[in-house]
Chains A and B, each alone.
Chain A
Amino acid sequence: MHIVATDREKAERVRASIPEKIGLEALTLVEDVFLSCMSDRELALLRFLRLGYRAGPVVLSMHGHPRVAPVLGAQRALLGEAHLYKGFTRFADYGGTLVGIIQPKNCVLPHLARHFALRYPNEDFLLYDKTYHLALSHRGHVLDLQPVDSLQLAPIDEREARYQALWKQFYRTIAIEGRENPRCRMTHLPKRYWAEMVEMRELF
């Protein structure tokens, strides 16, 4: 194994050169792939960048190229999971603050920040990422992202329990008898999301 020591100056030079030589979209791609869970992403990015420096911005159009397709795929996986979490994240009301927990494969919290800030401009909320130990907080209209080892939560109060029960009732009732399709449900809603979803937890 060959270990490369980080050189901040060189790293900055590379980072600055990407939008210049390959375009802004390429820099976003690199940042997204870092956030993704792709194994050996550093090598894949290196291969991509080398091609990019040679070919220029057109590299982003080479959807089929063996050096480009994997990184585009990783970005797609990250953005896809972020999109799913926009729907699958569940918040609970703890004395006025909304608290949610996710356990993603990719580091999606930065992509969720803007979404939930726009959705709840006047709410205080906390979104905790169990996989990457990151907490997104929104208080008094200020967004913050901090590393947090773990999150301990008090039990929910009666009002919260009531709304959770109402939601579970709704969820149970909407399925049409005679059209049960657990396989179809699993395809769209993989089991790894169930633990943090109020209505799916007990189906484990």
Chain B
Amino acid sequence: MDLMRKLAILTESAKYDAACTSSGASARQNRGDGIGSTIAAGCCHTFSADGRCVTLLKVLMSNECVYDCRYCVNRRSNEVERASFTPRELAELTLEFYRRNYIEGLFLSSGVCGSPDGTMERMIRTLELLRYDHRFYGYIHAKAIPGASPELVERMGLLADRLSVNIELPSEASLRLLAPHKTRAAILGPMAQIARTARQNRQELVRYRHTPVFAAAGQATQMIIGATPESDYQILRLAEGLYRKYALKRVFYSAYIPAVADSLLPTPDQKPPLLREHRLYQADFLLRQYHFAADEVLSAEHPHFSPYLDPKCSWALYHPQHFPVDVQTADYRTLLRVPGIGPKSARRILDARRAGSLSNADLGRMGVVLRRARYFILTRDQPTGVKLGREAIARALLDPAAFSHGAEQLSLFAPPRLEPAISGAAPTLPEAVEEVIASLPHPL
């Protein structure tokens, strides 16, 4: 099979893997004897027709697989054309794409070809060719295969910048039902090993500068959203737990896109839960950058995201006791709680207020979204805040993205309260405002 055909098949098979970022956390310094470098910030090389950032050559080593996971297009029992790269041709392809500045590096996963260890060996061979033969210092994100032996996971970590083990589904029950060959132990084992090895490696590096670096850009994982009945709350709590327990750098959420018809899965006519995936990413950022706890964003009583409000605005509306915030005196974390203020504008506020008191116009020029923030802050122009009706505030905070998704069901298993508002025709703005106001617990 020629390279073009292989590339088409193995790119197609890998595209549902959501992770796309590169990271410059790598200590891998090109000492001038090779090709490649890593930039601190992620670098997007292009954007695909679906609007997603493309940074890496994202492919499977092989889409042959001995497992039969029900949600996967490459499952053993699915009729799909199979292909495999040789380590040599994949290493060369990566290098030539890198030379032309098409990519920052390689994102490599694989179907299970024969056995987890056999598959890992082939992937490792590709990475060795890149690092040693081609002296490649660019970014490599490699997927460890569940059930692989620790020695191979370790070898892979010394060659790659970031490692992932896909958690696949948000609960053990779902995993047992849809992917019985991938046991919880087979997934969490390597994740724990990677976390442990990375931690030890950082400590050793402090003592011995020339210690080989293990997974410099840390560990990530991915799960499929919407294929199984877990609530948003359960998923978010799981993500929080994973960040804490395995020191993950990122959790990726992939809206389930029916690639195969299956009795246990949503039917192919169900639209993919894109808004829900979007909300999860928003909530994920709240956990990682805004110092929220999962329990603040959602709860057992409110286990699902609002279709109309992003999680941060939702929190602000439901917790009026924390506002208004005085931009002149509030600390960083408190500023971050204000709708319309993010990490960059919060830092600018902290910096700028040393030079004098801040007006609304100043804040606007600093990147604060005044349209939202003004109801929640005290500034030089509004020293006693803004007194306004709930309707005006709700209108200002409504998320326009909620209306562009049309007749999407937020969740296959959403409670009945949400369904009338979002099944059938898209809600109109007045309807959405009504909905939001009706659900507010306190007078504002």
A→B interface (CB under 8 Å): 55, 58, 61-66, 69, 83-84, 86-93, 98, 100, 115, 118-123, 163, 165-167, 169-176, 178-185, 187-189, 197-200
State whether B30 touches A64 (Cβ < 8 A): no
B30 partner, pick from A93, A121, A179, A189, beta carbons under 8 A: A121
Q: How far apart are A143's CB and chain B's nearest CB, in angstroms?
A: 14
How many Å from the CB of A25 to the closest CB on chain B?
Answer: 12
Known contacts A91-B101, A163-B97; A173/B11 CB under 8 A: yes
Q: Which A-B residue pairs are the 10 nearest by beta carbons?
A: A64-B362, A184-B51, A175-B49, A181-B51, A179-B50, A69-B365, A173-B11, A87-B45, A189-B47, A175-B48
Given the complex of chains A and B, what is the CA–CA distance between A188 and B11 in angstroms?
22
Please determine whether A90 and B8 come into contact, CB atoms closer than 8 angstroms.
no
Which residue of B99, B101, B104, B257 contacts A178 across the interface (Cβ within 8 Å)? B257
Kindly count the residue-residue contacts between A and B in the assembled complex, taking CB atoms under 8 Å apart.
155
Please give, as numbers and ranges, the residues of chain A lying within 8 Å of B36 by CB-CB distance. Answer: 119
Are A179 and B272 in touch, CB under 8 angstroms?
Answer: yes
User: Known: A90-B101, A118-B30, A173-B15. Is A62-B355 also a contact (CB below 8 A)?
Assistant: yes
The CA of A204 and the CA of B11, in the complex, are separated in Å by: 24
Q: Is B93 part of the contact surface with A, judged by Cβ < 8 Å?
A: yes
CA distance A102 to B75 in the complex (A): 44
Whether B171 is near chain A, meaning CB under 8 Å from some CB there, is no
Distance of B3 from chain A, by nearest CB (Å): 7
Which residue in chain B gives the minimum CB-CB distance to A117?
B37
Q: Does B7 contact A (CB under 8 A)?
A: yes
For residue B351, CB closer than 8 A to chain A, the reply is: yes
Kindly report which residue of chain A lies nearest to residue B351, judged by CB atoms. Answer: A61
B434 adjacent to chain A (CB < 8 Å): no
Q: List 23 A-B contacts (CB under 8 A).
A: A58-B354, A61-B351, A62-B355, A62-B356, A64-B363, A64-B365, A86-B43, A87-B44, A87-B55, A88-B45, A89-B101, A90-B100, A91-B99, A92-B100, A120-B99, A170-B7, A175-B49, A178-B272, A181-B50, A182-B49, A188-B51, A198-B102, A200-B46
Known A173-B11, A174-B58, A179-B274; judge A163-B47 contact (CB<8 A).
Answer: no
Partner of B362, one of A65, A86, A118, A184: A65
Do A185 and B45 have beta carbons less than 8 Å apart? Answer: no
A84, A100, A174, A187: the one contacting B101 at CB < 8 Å is A100
B46 touches A199 (CB 8 A): yes
